[in-house]
Structure 1
Amino acid sequence: MAKVFSYFKIALPRTKKAISYLQQRGINYQAHEVGYNSGGLHQESKNHHLVSSMVKYGLLKPNVAHGHSVWAKDCVIFPLRNQEHKVVSLYGRSISNDSDQRHFYLSGRTGLYPCYPDGAVTRLILTESVIDAASLLQQAEIFGEYGVLALYGTNGLTQEHQQAILACSGLQEIIFMLDGDAAGRAATVKHAGTLAGLLPQVKMTGVALPDGEDVNSVLQSHDDSQVLADLIAGRQPVTFYSSVEKENPAPETLTPSMPQATDTRLNTSNPELLTYDGDQLHITVLGGIKLTGLDRLRVTLKVEHRHKPLLPVRHNLDLYNHSHSEQLISKLSEAFDISLQVVTGLIAGLTGALEGYRALRLERLQPQPAAKPELTAAERQAAINYLQQPELLRRTSEDIGRSGIVGETVNRLIAYLVYSSRKQATPLHIMFLGSSGSGKTYLQEKVSELIPTDDKIEITQITENAFYYFRQEELKHKLLLIEDLDGAESSLYPLRELQSKRRISKTVTLKDSKGHLKTITVTVEGPVSVSGCTTREKLYEDNANRCLLLYVDGSKEKDGHIMEYQTRLSAGLVDQSQQQVVKQLFRHVQQVLQPVRVVNPYAAYIRLPEQIFKPRRTMTLLLSFIETVTFYHQYQREVKRDSSGSAYIETTPEDIRAAFGLLKEVLFSKGDELAKATRNFLEQLKAWLSSSGQESFTPQQIRKAFRLPPRTLQRYIRELYQYGYLRQVSGYKHRKGFEYAVADGSEYDQLTGIIEEQLQHVLSQIGSTTPTTPVLRQ
């Protein structure tokens, strides 16, 4: 064992993936005796005696066909030592498999990690795993004060552990530092009772790790390793059961939905070469079994006598076919001189074992829903505290900026609130508009990083029917992020239906098992919150009508701020770790926000200016946004109940004032018949004419002054001329193009003034009225 481990120890520093794995786990491999098993030692070594010894001690297992199966391949290896401090066994931890098989011990496991404790140790820490023990051993403040000993899992307090602990004559305290889950806490109580019976004079204490955490995960999640020492310092006495019945609860009863364990005689370590050991016969299933076609069990068998040097029998058959099985049983009985009754029982046992193995494989292939990460009590309280503090919207806007988003102060806050509305019954939708390269996709991406990963689906391109292939509730209360609406152009109709009706359905024709045609309806439930980016507002007008439209700032001032940030980032002057902390806080905030009904008692006083185009949808968007502002303040609002007992929170005048302030530019855009890009060009044109003292212009002058592409300039002028915002003052002359003048220089100021006046009137009315009382919901 010592020789093999020396080879593994040499291999570790040469293996990048093993070093990377240990670094990710926070383990300093240079501070420990640890190696790596690549699985190639027996192939690289020319020492045949070493290979035969590896087979003898279980490090290699000869395959029936050729070669060897390797124990603990692709594992980091830790040595297990006896009382003389000699390596007598090994432990392997897989670096590539974190779900099915992670821990590897040799058969007849002996030895302890890191070694037998010193007999003079006074305080001994017991951990649940070797990795946890290694995490403690590299902390000088812990290693110098305590002894450390690894158990082999929650049921891994062996007789060898107990004997080693009993040999510590100076022992005063045993400290259990097992995982912070139900199994770890139960094992702490159980093993404390066991050791207290052996060492009644020794104090039994336990370290309370955070829920769902172990020693190593705590080390990984904290920059300061002092956290482990602090946790140990806060240990408490263990209260353990004195009743044997409580220490040994009745085993859990398997329900029909739980897969049964396979026959222990069936070895499934190699799925392509299954083996089954009977009393007299050894059966190899060549090529394994197929998982499809549950109405048959076709196998190719190689059957050998375990004790007689007889030729093996090879046979291909379907074990579910009675005549096939009868032929095999008769053939084996005759070839090996064994009674038909014994062979029949053996084949029946093989069939049952293969059925159980196939059922387990199929169960594991089923997609398992990913466990949604739960917040710790401290994380949850910190998020709630954030939502309870005054001036929530101002702090949220500032902290969004601290997450790494430059400028776009209003747009980023609106987007974050819209994304938060996904949890409500009627979520909002958003569309980012701007020229190519203006940063609209970047803004969407950065704000979406504040939303938990499980709550959003990012789409680059999607086909028309793809939405119907989601599971029925897979999209429910999700945020759909579409990088460019051009990539989803074929799916805009189902997307609109999801936005409006909050569900989509499609009737398709299928054939049943008898070949008869039948129709079924596929339904996908919403609601969803949709966010998309485009440069072409008019092309996607039907979808844009259902969205809040946010126009990205493409000014030179914004360009300067972004370039300044880019240079600071490149120079290492931006604290990216602090940005990650802020993003994580926002994700936690999103997790503590709960769906709640919002009642706006001031809704009857809200009126839109007559200048707003498509007022019905605009009013719906405005009211929904006000509700979203209230929803975000839910931890600052009293929960009330209507006459039916349904809980709700109420909108305040401050919520309406904040919503009006944020959506002012959106409402201006809704009241303008021009697209925002065209409007921006017109206002820029007015400013240029005023500053240059001119009343008219030619396209050639403007193209040079604004540095616009000719086709873009032509589109702007054509649209403004058609809508009557420009008038032609002279014909085409001197090859300089037509000459134009602005028809009315104050029309936009008048429009925005009217809308602003109406909003202020609504706010003054609301401030002087008494809110209405909600009635029973219909």
Structure 2
Amino acid sequence: MGRIPETELDSLKSSVDLAALVRSKGIELKKHGSKDLAGLSPFTEEKTPSFIVTPGKNLWHCMSSGQGGSVIDFVMKYDGVSFREAVELLRTKNPSLYRSAGPVRKSTVPKLPPPIEFDADDQTLFGQVLAYYAGRLKENKAAVDYLKKRGLWEEEALATFRIGYADRTLGLTLPHKNRKDGAEIRTRLQRLGIYRESGHEHFNGSLVFPVIDPDGNVREIYGRKVGSQKSGIYHLYLPGPHAGIWNPDCLKSPEIILTESVIDALTFWANGFCNATCIWGTEGFTDEHLEAFRQHKTQRIYLAYDRDKAGDRAAERDAPRLQSIGIECFGVKFPAGHDANEYATKVKPAEISLKTVLSGAEWLGRGRKSSGIKDQTTRVPSSSILLAAKLAAEEPALAGDEIPTPVGTKLAAEAEGQNDATKEKKASDSPCLKAVGEDYVLELGPRAYRVRGLQKNGSLEVLKVNLRLVHGELFHLDTLDFYRSKDREAFVRAAASETTLEPDLIKRDLGKLLLALEQVQEERIRAATESQPSHPEMSEEEQAEALELLKCPDLLERILSDFESCGIVGESTNKLTGYLACVSRKLDRPLAVIVQSTSAAGKSTLMESILAFIPEEERVKYSAMTGQSLYYLGETNLKNKILAIVEEEGAEKASYALKLLQSEGELTIASTGKDDQGRMKTEEYHVEGPVMIFLTTTAVDIDEELLNRCLVLTVDESREQTKAIHDLQREAETFEGLKRKVERERILAVHRNAQRLLKPLPVVNPFAKKLTFLSDRTRTRRDHVKYLTLIRTIALLHQHQRPLKERDGLQYIEVETSDIEAANRIAHEVLGRSLDELPPQTRRLLILLREMLDGRCREEELTPDVCLFSRRDVRRFTGWTEFQVRTHLTKLQDMEYILPHYGGRGQSFVYELLFNGEDDGRPQMCGLLDMTTTKTSSIESGGSSIERNGSSPQRASNEQGSSIGRNGSQPNGKGPSGLNYHQPAPKRTRGRKPQGVVTHVTP
């Protein structure tokens, strides 16, 4: 429903005599003070006057009920009607206003007369509804302004096509649906499509354009919403398939102008081209259209669709259908992004500009090419047609100009008036826009226009610039958007005042400048969107250096050496693993890496250092990602690239998509959108992989789904590593540090070029069937794939050192034993760590606790079972923060590596270490093939010394025992982790020290 203007409401509130209206309801009013009237309240049962009316302000107030307001509020309250119905009753001065029937809480009987006959047939009912809408059009200012703005407010057009406006007042005239006649008429209107199942008018807030056949029957109704819509839906039709031909009289002409929409066709009609009709949006060319053109023997059709991608596609699709029945087709070329109505409102006079674009329509085929549209109507003045023909004939003379000026602009300029501006030299009609640095200059005789800021416009829908006009010693400077008529008009007025030039002349100049800028803008955006080379070209010297690196016999050692030269100390396994994982982006199933450490330990530095060795065009880096962002990155934007996310927490919402991308190698999502007519449709978005995923995190516990898909790297947080980093940081301030920085750029350039030379070749592993791997748990199914991928990656990195073999038409390179040996060295630390039940930092704290207690036991001659410790002891020994100690002690407690004891009244918890130190904390991956002896140490080997439970002699088993005693020990004296205890854990007592235990706590 359209909003009622405040001015109209104010007029109603002041013009209707409230006192007279109240008295007409049978309420006697008497003098009350000097300014008021008082009477018995109609809304309460009180017997004393409490209903006050102030005639001077035309307001009322009921003191007994506490209500009051204007004349509108009184009608709403007394008659039990809605705000809109009250306004309509007052606006029309309905006789029911002055009837005294007593106040009602809610009226179910309409007080406005119905505009329709309840027993009328469907077509008559359609006609009565449309007549009501037509009558409401002139009552709605917003609808009138909309038609005027689009140049369509013409009495003849309104009457001919029965244009109306649905303002939701139709329902105010109908009985409520809880009454029999109300339910029946509303059901009929719903069946016709005027009402929806929800009970709302279908075309509420829309201009209504009926489609009526020659017999007067309504076949279709097109509704155009007025004003901004939150839903984004502006175009409505009757439910069901499209039917009918708008303006069927056009079929009498052998030449027809066919537009996308009713408004565009009405634009042609209103400007003298009565042979115009339309389809129903870009997908709305129906068989009925085709059959009508065939029956009426249409000879020529001008496809005046919108000048955008959708319109161009529709013209390419519809032209062959028309040509198949012998119709000659022409394509009307509006300026980019414009439709017929927008063009007609911008280039005045519209009848001349439309005639011109029709005359210059592009022939699309079939029949004999004509010279242009013939005059099918006498509504265009003959003088204007002659003028258009004259200028159209002159148009070929402009073909050699650098920036041609369309005929439409010249027509509009000449039609605006014969003054001194029309006597300019013809050279100024074909202006040359010159580039001066980042600015553009257009000189038109003594006038010079400078344009600045064109580069900031990244879309064809915006042309906002800083424009300066200089005329002699006078000038005017302003910022405007050329696509906003108000901006152009304001510039013309202000510039004419400042430079003393005539407004018509400046307006004509702006038209030429606009067209020149559009061409530059289109060329610039087209050049920017054209495909760029995937990587910069390498010189012969650069290529030779890159090949020398890839052919290095000890390539892996060379990579580690280059990391050291670039200033990345330590972390040998992490650096090499990360580098190889980045190389795996060339494979069909790349590796994924997640770097885990505490805050400020250097995880981001490690990731940045590894990524620096990879070409920029082959990596995509984000700080965070939203849940749906991955699905809309572009179909091939991630293919065989690295997707790096600085913090895993920043990708928490996108974790599901990341897992799918890693497992499936692609992403597909079905999303709802809107078509050109505003109707909902389903669109599919596809993102191709494979992609290598690189993450960092400070979380102690990583999502299990993500963990078993990734290689987990842990930053070295030892004091030795920290000292080495400090030494390097100090060296960076010296001259040697400056030299290292220069050398770093050279090394990185060589590695990036080497990465560009790597090809995604197939890799065959002739030793695959001999390889072994742990199979004691299901998660090794994915770890085994990581192991095999690591071997393939190392072989792929050495592709320039291997012969390219061919068999059965397939080319490939083979894995060598050195590749497996290198993979085994990495797998022991990286994959071995992944099988540990403790996170790396928690494992590190466990080793430190063992060291701390061993030293204390030796010094104080205590046994481990009575040497308890507190969190403060741990912080003092390790130097870790309170948060780190608390987090990892909680993890050790949950995994039953430590046992908490309550320290007594006023004391904190103390802990007992249940870990005997048999595991030295070094990661080890058992079950890998030893390439030096070609013997396996796996659990499948009969001679292996590893127990059948699959645990490593250097790692606690991941299997949790099921026969744990009440005190936490197993019957054999071992804890659930398979580690020996010194003695069974003591019985816990609440609120006091454990019985039989001597505590030794350091204050």
What is the TM-score normalised by the length of structure 1?
0.54
- Where does residue 415 of structure 1 map in the other structure? 578
Equivalent of 1:759 in 920, 925, 928: 928
Between the aligned partners of 1:288 and 1:670, the Cα distance in structure 2 is 55
- Where does residue 361 of structure 1 map in the other structure? 521
Amino acid at match of 2:772: R
Matches within 5 A, 1:104-123: none
Matches within 5 A, 1:178-327: 261-263=402-404, 265-269=430-434
Kept after mapping to 2: 8 A contact 1:613/1:671: no
Kept after mapping to 1: 8 A contact 2:442/2:448: yes
Kept after mapping to 2: 8 A contact 1:653/1:766: no
Kept after mapping to 1: 8 A contact 2:457/2:463: no
Kept after mapping to 2: 8 A contact 1:607/1:762: no
The answer to whether structure 1 residue 619 and structure 2 residue 769 are counterparts is no
- Where does residue 670 of structure 1 map in the other structure? 834
Matches within 5 A, 1:478-557: 478-557=641-720
Between the aligned partners of 1:293 and 1:729, the Cα distance in structure 2 is 69
- Where does residue 697 of structure 1 map in the other structure? 868
Equivalent of 2:759 in 587, 594, 606: 594
1:403 CA displacement? 1.3
Cα 1:610–1:426 shift into 2, 3 Å: closer
Cα 1:499–1:293 shift into 2, 3 Å: closer
Kept after mapping to 1: 8 A contact 2:761/2:813: yes
Deviations 1:628-687 (A, max 9, x none): 1111000111111232x1211111111011011022111221221111111111122223
The answer to whether structure 1 residue 453 and structure 2 residue 594 are counterparts is no
Kept after mapping to 1: 8 A contact 2:902/2:909: no
Between the aligned partners of 2:702 and 2:783, the Cα distance in structure 1 is 19
1:702 CA displacement? 2.4
Report which stretch shifted further, 465-474 or 627-636.
465-474
Equivalent of 1:712 in 884, 889, 897: 884
Matches within 5 A, 1:85-164: none
1:273 CA displacement? 9.1
Secondary structure, in 3 states, of the residue corresponding to 1:697?
coil
Equivalent of 1:390 in 553, 569, 586: 553
Matches within 5 A, 1:602-681: 602-610=767-775, 614-643=779-808, 645-681=809-845
Deviations 1:438-465 (A, max 9, x none): 1111111112111112211221122222
Between the aligned partners of 1:296 and 1:399, the Cα distance in structure 2 is 49
- Where does residue 381 of structure 1 map in the other structure? 544
Report which stretch shifted further, 707-716 or 420-429.
707-716
Report which stretch shifted further, 679-688 or 356-365.
356-365
Deviations 1:253-304 (A, max 9, x none): xxxxxx99534931324899975869xx999899999999999999xxxx9x
Amino acid at match of 1:455: E
Q: Which has the bigger relative contact order, CA under 8 A and spacing at least 6? A: 1
Amino acid at match of 2:565: R
1:730 CA displacement? 8.2
The answer to whether structure 1 residue 581 and structure 2 residue 746 are counterparts is yes
Between the aligned partners of 1:287 and 1:582, the Cα distance in structure 2 is 42
Cα 1:573–1:273 shift into 2, 3 Å: closer
Cα 1:455–1:705 shift into 2, 3 Å: same
- Where does residue 907 of structure 2 map in the other structure? 735
1:554 CA displacement? 0.2
Between the aligned partners of 1:478 and 1:296, the Cα distance in structure 2 is 34
**Gaps in structure 2 of 5+ consecutive residues:** 1-399, 405-426, 470-481, 484-504, 938-1003
Between the aligned partners of 2:551 and 2:639, the Cα distance in structure 1 is 28
Between the aligned partners of 2:776 and 2:457, the Cα distance in structure 1 is 66
1:742 CA displacement? 2.2
Between the aligned partners of 1:291 and 1:444, the Cα distance in structure 2 is 36
Kept after mapping to 1: 8 A contact 2:621/2:646: yes
The answer to whether structure 1 residue 437 and structure 2 residue 578 are counterparts is no
Between the aligned partners of 1:268 and 1:394, the Cα distance in structure 2 is 59
Between the aligned partners of 1:375 and 1:477, the Cα distance in structure 2 is 21
- Where does residue 727 of structure 2 map in the other structure? 564
What is the TM-score normalised by the length of structure 2?
0.42
Secondary structure, in 3 states, of the residue corresponding to 2:537?
coil
Secondary structure, in 3 states, of the residue corresponding to 2:695?
strand
1:502 CA displacement? 1.9
- Where does residue 99 of structure 2 map in the other structure? none
Amino acid at match of 1:373: P
Between the aligned partners of 1:440 and 1:262, the Cα distance in structure 2 is 56
Between the aligned partners of 2:817 and 2:790, the Cα distance in structure 1 is 14
Kept after mapping to 2: 8 A contact 1:463/1:490: yes
Kept after mapping to 2: 8 A contact 1:653/1:763: no
Between the aligned partners of 1:295 and 1:703, the Cα distance in structure 2 is 62
Between the aligned partners of 1:708 and 1:293, the Cα distance in structure 2 is 54
Equivalent of 1:723 in 895, 917, 920: 895
Between the aligned partners of 2:460 and 2:838, the Cα distance in structure 1 is 64
Cα 1:282–1:550 shift into 2, 3 Å: closer
Deviations 1:207-240 (A, max 9, x none): xxxxxxxxxxxxxxxxxxxxxxxxxxxxxxxxxx
Cα 1:730–1:633 shift into 2, 3 Å: same
- Where does residue 688 of structure 1 map in the other structure? 852
Amino acid at match of 1:620: V
Percent identity over the alignment is 28
Between the aligned partners of 1:666 and 1:498, the Cα distance in structure 2 is 22
Cα 1:285–1:698 shift into 2, 3 Å: closer
Deviations 1:597-653 (A, max 9, x none): 11112222222224666111111111111111111000111111232x121111111
Amino acid at match of 1:718: T
Amino acid at match of 2:869: T
Secondary structure, in 3 states, of the residue corresponding to 1:400?
helix
Between the aligned partners of 1:432 and 1:459, the Cα distance in structure 2 is 16
Deviations 1:59-98 (A, max 9, x none): xxxxxxxxxxxxxxxxxxxxxxxxxxxxxxxxxxxxxxxx
1:553 CA displacement? 0.0
Amino acid at match of 2:868: F
Between the aligned partners of 2:726 and 2:837, the Cα distance in structure 1 is 34
Cα 1:590–1:294 shift into 2, 3 Å: closer
- Where does residue 230 of structure 1 map in the other structure? none
Kept after mapping to 2: 8 A contact 1:678/1:716: yes
Deviations 1:182-210 (A, max 9, x none): xxxxxxxxxxxxxxxxxxxxxxxxxxxxx
Deviations 1:731-776 (A, max 9, x none): 6588263340324432567x966x44x22557643799xxxxxxxx
Between the aligned partners of 2:634 and 2:401, the Cα distance in structure 1 is 29
Cα 1:353–1:556 shift into 2, 3 Å: closer
Secondary structure, in 3 states, of the residue corresponding to 1:631?
helix
Between the aligned partners of 1:705 and 1:622, the Cα distance in structure 2 is 38
Between the aligned partners of 1:473 and 1:709, the Cα distance in structure 2 is 45
Q: How many residues align?
A: 470
* Structure of greater Rg: 2
